[in-house]
């Protein structure tokens, strides 16, 4: 992902920054009811917050394989409970790390018993 220090971006610039085709950005803009500002010539422009939202949608769609309905639900959950959502994700991650570390410890103990 390319980053540029600007306040507002055109659709073409956002497409290059996010590596998302323009037609997909237009669809997501409509689907997720993004309220974009207009520049002095009346063209729609994207803020960094808009780009962050687009990147979140991209992550949820491509990495977590959610449908558009699932993405809308997830974003709504995140808005309603931002702290608890983040807490739960961190908790799940830590539990996974703990499980992996216990498995490693068990392997090490088994290898020490065989020596």
CATH of residue 44: 1.10.1660.10
Helix (H) or strand (E) holding 44: strand 44-47
Are both 46 and 68 inside the same structural domain?
yes
Is 53 found in the same domain as 30? yes
Q: What are phi and psi of 63, to 5 degrees?
A: -90, -40
Nearest 5°: CA angle at 89, between 86 and 95? Answer: 135
Output the pLDDT for position 104. 79
Please state the rounded mean pLDDT for residues 25-49: 92
Pair 16, 4: CB distance under 8 Å: no
Structure tokens at 32: 């997720």
44 close to 37: Cβ distance less than 8 angstroms: yes
Average pLDDT, the chain: 84
Q: Which helix (H) or strand (E) holds 102?
A: helix 82-113
Least confident of 19-33, 58-72, 73-87, 95-109: 73-87
Range of the domain at 6: 1-80
pLDDT at 100: 80
To the question of pTM greater than 0.95 for the whole model, the response is no
pLDDT digits (tens, 9 = 90+) for 66-97: 999 999 998 888 887 766 656 767 777 778 88
Specify whether 72 is located in the same domain as 89.
no
């Amino acid at each position: 992902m390319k980053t540029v220090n600007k306040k507002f971006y055109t659709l073409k610039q956002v497409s290059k920054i996010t590596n998302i085709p323009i037609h997909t950005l237009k669809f997501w803009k409509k689907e997720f009811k993004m309220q974009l500002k207009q520049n002095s010539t009346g063209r729609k422009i994207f803020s960094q917050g808009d780009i962050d939202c687009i990147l979140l949608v991209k992550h949820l769609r491509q990495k977590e394989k959610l449908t558009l309905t699932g993405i809308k639900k997830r974003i709504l959950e995140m808005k309603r409970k931002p702290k608890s959502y983040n807490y739960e994700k961190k908790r799940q991650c830590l539990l996974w790390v703990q499980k992996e570390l216990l498995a490693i410890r068990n392997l090490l103990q088994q290898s020490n018993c065989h020596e």
